[in-house]
C-alpha cells in the first residue's frame, strides 16, 4: 500500500492534486474488499498514458468540485477530505462512467475498473 501511494505521487506530479492518502483511505473504507484487488491502484481513477484522470476519475472530480462550489468556495483539491471523497464515490455509484454497460458500483464489487470500458464484469450468457 505504501508503495502504491509513493508510486502515484512520483508519477502523478501535478496531475493528481488531491492528497493520495485521503483517496485510498476513502476508497478502502467505502469498498473494503477493494484493498486486495487490482483496484487498489492509481489506475482506478487514472490512465497510464500521461496519468490523466479516466472517465471515473473525472466523474469523481466533477462531483468534488461541485461540493465545494455549492458551499460558495472555490474548489481546492488539497482540502478534499476522506469524508467528501467517500460521499463522491457513493454519489457516482449508479453512474456508468466508462459506458460499458455496468454501473460503477457493479464494477467496484467485481474487480473491474470503472473508468476502463475494456475491463468489466463478465456479461451474463442468455
> Grid coordinates standing for 80?
478534499
Q: By C-beta, is 54 or 61 nearer to Ca ion?
A: 54
Least distance (Å) between residue 8 CB and Ca ion: 20
Least distance (Å) between residue 125 CB and Ca ion: 19
Helix axes 82-91, 55-70, angle to 10 degrees: 120
Q: By C-beta, is 22 or 98 nearer to Ca ion?
A: 98
Residues of span 84-103 touching Ca ion by CB under 5 A: 98, 100
Q: Is 59 in the site for Ca ion (CB under 5 A)?
A: no
What is the contact surface with Ca ion in residues (CB under 5 A)?
98, 100, 107, 112, 116, 119-120
Amino acid at each position: 500500500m505504501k508503495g502504491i501511494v509513493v508510486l502515484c505521487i512520483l508519477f502523478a506530479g501535478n496531475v493528481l492534486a488531491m492528497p493520495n492518502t485521503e483517496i485510498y483511505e476513502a476508497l478502502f473504507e467505502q469498498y473494503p474488499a477493494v484493498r486486495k484487488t487490482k483496484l487498489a491502484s492509481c489506475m482506478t481513477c487514472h490512465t497510464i498514458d500521461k496519468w490523466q484522470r479516466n472517465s471515473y476519475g473525472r466523474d469523481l472530480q466533477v462531483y468534488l468540485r461541485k461540493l465545494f462550489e455549492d458551499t460558495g468556495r472555490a474548489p481546492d483539491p488539497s482540502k478534499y477530505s476522506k469524508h467528501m471523497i467517500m460521499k463522491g464515490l457513493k454519489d457516482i455509484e449508479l453512474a456508468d462512467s466508462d459506458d460499458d454497460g455496468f454501473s460503477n458500483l457493479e464494477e467496484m464489487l467485481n474487480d473491474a475498473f470503472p473508468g476502463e470500458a475494456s475491463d468489466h464484469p463478465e456479461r451474463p450468457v442468455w
